[in-house]
Structure 1
Amino acid sequence: MPSTRFDVAIVGGGLVGASLAIALDRIGRSVALVEAAPAGAPPAVFDERNLSFAEATVHGLRALGVLQHLRAPAGAIRRIHVSRVGDFGRVVLDAAEHGRETFGQVVVARDFGLALEARLNECTHVTRFRPMRFEGTSMGEGVRVLHLRDGDGNASEIEAQLLVGADGTRSGVREALHIGAEEHDFQQTLFVARVRAEQAPDGTAYERFGPNGPTALLPRGDGHFGVVHGVPREEADVVAALNEAAWLERLQSAFGWRVGRLLSSGARSAYPIVQVVAKALIAQRAVIVGNAAQTLHPIGAQGFNLGLRDALTLAELIEAGGDPGDAGLLAEHARRRADDRERTLEFSGGLARLTANEGEATRPLRSLGFGAVQHLPALRAQLVGGALGYRGDVPRLCRGEA
Structure 2
Amino acid sequence: MSSHAPTRGPVHDVLIVGGGLVGASLAIALDAQGLEVGLVEAAPAEALPPVFDQRNLSLAEASLNALDALGVLPLLRAPTGPIQRIHISRSGDFGRVLLDAREHGREVFGRVVVARDFGAALETRLQQLRHLVRYRPARFVGLEAGDPGLRWIRVEEPGGERVLGARLLVAADGAHSAVREALGIGVQQHDYGQTLFVARLRAQRAPDGTAYERLTDAGPTALLPRGDGHYGLVHGVARAQAEAVAALGDAAFLARVQDVFGWRAGRFFAVGPRSAYPIQRCVADALTAPRAVLVGNAAQAIHPIGAQGFNLGLRDALTLAECIAANGGDPGADAVLGQYAARRAEDRARTLAFSDGLARLTASDAPLLRPLRSAGLLAGGLSGGLQAWLVGGAMGYRGDVPALCRGRAA
Same fold, judged at TM 0.5 (above): yes
Q: Which residue of 2 aligns with 1:70?
A: 76
Structure-1 residue corresponding to 2:349: 342
**Superposition map of 1:245-324 within 5 A:** 245-320=251-326, 321-324=328-331
Letter of the structure 1 residue corresponding to residue 389 of structure 2: Q
Residue in structure 1 matched with residue 151 of structure 2 by the alignment? 144
CA-CA distance at 1:248 after TM superposition = 0.3
Q: SS of 2:14's equivalent?
A: strand
3-state DSSP class of the match of 2:162? Answer: strand
> In the alignment, is residue 374 of structure 1 matched against residue 381 of structure 2?
yes
Answering whether residue 192 of structure 2 is matched by residue 177 of structure 1, we say no
- 2:395 corresponds in structure 1 to 388
Cα distance in 1 for residues equivalent to 2:80 and 2:271 = 19
SS of the residue aligned with 1:308? Answer: helix
Provide the residue aligned with 1:85 in structure 2.
91
Letter in 1 for 2:363: A
Counterpart of 2:55 (choices 49, 58, 69) is 49
Report the Cα distance in structure 2 between the residues aligned to 1:206 and 1:294, rounded to whole angstroms: 25
Partner Cα distance (2:157, 2:263) in 1? 51
Q: Percent identity?
A: 64
* CA–CA separation in structure 2 for the residues paired with 1:225 and 1:179: 39
> Quick one: distance in 1 between partners of 2:200 and 2:32?
35
Alpha-carbon distance, 1:274 to partner: 0.5
Q: State the secondary structure of the residue aligned to 1:3.
A: strand
* Superposition deviation, residue 139 in structure 1: 4.5
Distance in 2, matches of 1:393 and 1:159, equals 31
Aligned structure 1 segments of 4 or more residues deviating by more than 4 angstroms = none
Within the candidate set 132, 135, 140, 2:138 is matched to 132
Aligned partner of 2:121 among 102, 115, 123: 115
Deviations 1:160-200 (A, max 9, x none): 10000000010001001000001000010000000000000
Deviations 1:27-54 (A, max 9, x none): 2111000001111111110001000000
Q: Distance in 2 between matches of 1:283 and 1:35?
A: 22
**Aligned AA (1:89):** G
Distance in 2 of aligned mates of 1:252 and 1:3: 55
Q: CA RMSD in A?
A: 0.8
Confirm or deny: 8 A CA contact 1:26 1:64 kept in the other structure: no
AA at the equivalent of 2:351:
T
Aligned pair count reads 401
CA contact (8 A) 1:56 1:389 kept: yes
More off after superposition, 133-142 vs 214-223 = 133-142
Query: CA contact under 8 A between 1:165 and 1:292: conserved in structure 2?
Result: yes
Tell me the equivalent position of 1:222.
Answer: 228
Task: Give the gaps of 5 or more residues in structure 2.
Answer: 1-6
Deviations 1:3-40 (A, max 9, x none): 30111000000000000000011221110000011111
For 1:215 and 1:123, the matched residues in 2 are separated by 39
How far, CA to CA, are the matches of 2:82 and 2:251 in structure 1? 29
- Aligned amino acid, residue 311 of structure 2: N
> Which aligned pairs between 1:11-30 and structure 2 lie closer than 5 A?
11-30=17-36
| Farther-moved stretch of structure 1 (137-146 vs 348-357) | 137-146
Q: Which amino acid aligns with 2:308?
A: Q
Q: Does residue 330 of the first structure (1) align with residue 311 of the second (2)?
A: no
Corresponding position of 1:365: 372
The 2-side partners of 1:86 and 1:189 are apart by: 21
Query: 1:137: Cα distance to partner?
Result: 1.6
Distance 2:60 2:296 in 1: 16
Give the residue type in structure 1 aligned to 2:44: P
The answer (yes or no) to whether the contact 1:14–1:43 under 8 Å persists in 2 is yes
Query: Which runs of 5 or more structure 1 residues have no equivalent in the other structure?
Result: none
Counterpart code for 1:44:
P
Q: Whole-Å Cα distance in 2 between the matches of residues 385 and 71 of structure 1?
A: 29
TM-score (norm 2): 0.97
